């Protein structure tokens, strides 16, 4: 790696911040098809005119806006993905703004070992929660078809989607096997958002919801499959051990558990996306981390599961499957 590459890498946050500020200020939604001057937009959004013009020019230079005769316009892609007027609006990008705030504390977190944002999800307001669930939905909706496809659903008549958020994975399971009974289990302030996404995606009456906190409550029982996607990285080893024992009790005999997450190699350096995500857990949770294959296997065995197996996707995510024998 040469000095130029290092400098460019270190400065890459600047482009990200320009886009995120434009998104946070809702610039893309407020540019209609006729365009607007920087003054018109600054007046509309109550911004400093000179500062607004600088931001708009930078967004043009980066390809997110177009400019002609002093008027600023959305590009086709920026309207499609960054304007609230579009059905394909990526509302979950607001979660990246929230991550910016916690990641900015990384140096201090490494000094102290204390998270920058240790509050539990059920203590965070809707302003944080809805963008978070939206971001998880956008990602899961794209990934779910590939990740659910390898799963053998023969003999699976019911599944429990723990911490299922928007219900994106339950939707994919039900799409692949319409007669399956799917239930999303999540926190009291998440489940209303879950129902909103279920209705929006056309799964009303096809997916149930259960309210609870898996760290303190027993899980509902009687399922053939328990599915945990992006759950164990939020918890400590101790919380996960207890959770997997609850999963074991929630399953019917011969039922199976599937854990989908960043599963690290023994020295915790690969996959790279997992190593980076471990930092996200460091700055954003009290005790979350990305665990190794050995740690996950030991947690499953401790809960009573047998026949553990693992598959890895090109993204770096892994699926660990085990059985209640």
The pLDDT tens digits for 134-160 are: 989 988 998 999 999 999 999 999 999
Rounded to an integer, what distance in angstroms lies between the CA atom of residue 235 and that of residue 321?
Answer: 19
Q: Please state, in angstroms and rounded to a whole number, the distance separating the CA atoms of residues 117 and 195.
A: 27
Residue 120: pLDDT over 60: no
Long-range contacts of residues 67-70, Cβ cutoff 8 Å, at least 24 apart:
68/35, 70/37
Under a CB-based contact definition with an 8 Å cutoff, are residues 319 and 147 in contact? Answer: yes
Please list the residues that pair with 73 across neighbouring strands: 66
Q: Where are the beta strands (DSSP E) in 146-230?
A: 158-162, 181-186, 207-211, 223-229
pLDDT band at 131 (very low <50, low <70, confident <90, very high): confident
Q: What are the chain's domains?
A: 3-89 (1.10.10.10), 107-323 (3.40.50.150)
For tokens 């854990």, the residue is 259
Tens of pLDDT along 181-192? 999 999 999 999
In contact, 307 and 323? CB cutoff 8 Å: yes
What pLDDT score was predicted for residue 115? 79
- Mean pLDDT of all residues belonging to the chain: 94
Instruction: State pLDDT tens for residues 47-77.
Output: 999 999 999 999 999 999 999 999 999 999 9
CB 320 within 8 A of CB 300: yes
* Longest CA span, the chain: 71
Under a CB-based contact definition with an 8 Å cutoff, are residues 231 and 263 in contact? Answer: no
User: Which residues make beta-bridge pairs with 183?
Assistant: 160, 208
Determine the pLDDT at residue 124: 62
State the pLDDT at residue 121. 55
Given a cut of 80, is residue 127 above it in pLDDT?
Answer: no
Q: Please, are residues 234 and 244 in contact by the beta-carbon 8 Å criterion?
A: no
Q: What is the pLDDT of residue 165?
A: 95
Structure confidence at residue 203 as a pLDDT band (50, 70, 90): very high
Asked if the model's pLDDT at residue 166 lies above 90, the reply is yes
CA–CA dist 43, 49 (Å, integer): 8
Q: What is the pLDDT of residue 116?
A: 62
What is the percentage of the chain residues whose pLDDT exceeds 90?
86
Q: Where is average pLDDT lowest: 135-139, 167-171, 228-232, 315-319?
A: 135-139
């Amino acid at each position: 790696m040469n000095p130029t590459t290092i400098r460019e890498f270190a400065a890459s946050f600047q482009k990200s911040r320009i886009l995120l500020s434009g998104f946070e200020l809702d610039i893309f939604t407020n540019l209609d098809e006729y365009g607007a001057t920087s003054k018109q937009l600054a007046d509309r959004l109550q911004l400093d005119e000179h500062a607004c013009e600088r931001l708009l020019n930078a967004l043009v230079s980066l390809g997110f806006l177009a400019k002609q005769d002093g008027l600023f316009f959305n590009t086709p892609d920026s309207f499609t993905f960054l304007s609230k007027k579009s059905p394909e609006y990526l509302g979950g990008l607001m979660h990246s703004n929230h991550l910016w705030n916690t990641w900015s504390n990384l140096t201090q977190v490494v000094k102290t070992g204390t998270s920058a944002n240790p509050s539990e999800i059920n203590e965070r307001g809707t302003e944080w929660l809805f963008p978070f669930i939206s971001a998880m939905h956008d990602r899961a909706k794209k990934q779910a078809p590939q990740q659910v496809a390898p799963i053998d659903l023969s003999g699976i008549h019911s599944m429990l989607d723990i911490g299922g958020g928007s219900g994106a994975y339950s939707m994919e399971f039900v799409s692949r096997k319409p007669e399956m009974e799917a239930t999303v289990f999540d926190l009291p302030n998440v489940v209303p958002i879950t129902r909103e996404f279920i209705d929006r995606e056309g799964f009303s009456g096809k997916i149930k919801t259960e309210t609870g906190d898996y760290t303190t409550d027993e899980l509902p029982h009687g399922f053939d499959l328990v599915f945990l996607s992006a759950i164990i990285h939020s918890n400590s080893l101790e919380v996960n051990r207890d959770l997997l024992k609850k999963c074991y009790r929630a399953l019917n005999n011969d039922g199976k558990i599937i854990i989908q997450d960043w599963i690290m190699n023994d020295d915790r350096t690969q996959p790279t996306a997992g190593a980076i995500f471990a930092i996200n857990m460091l700055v954003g949770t009290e005790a979350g981390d990305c665990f190794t294959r050995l740690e996950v296997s030991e947690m499953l065995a401790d809960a009573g599961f047998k026949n553990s197996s693992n598959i890895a996707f090109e993204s770096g995510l892994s699926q660990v499957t085990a059985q209640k024998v």
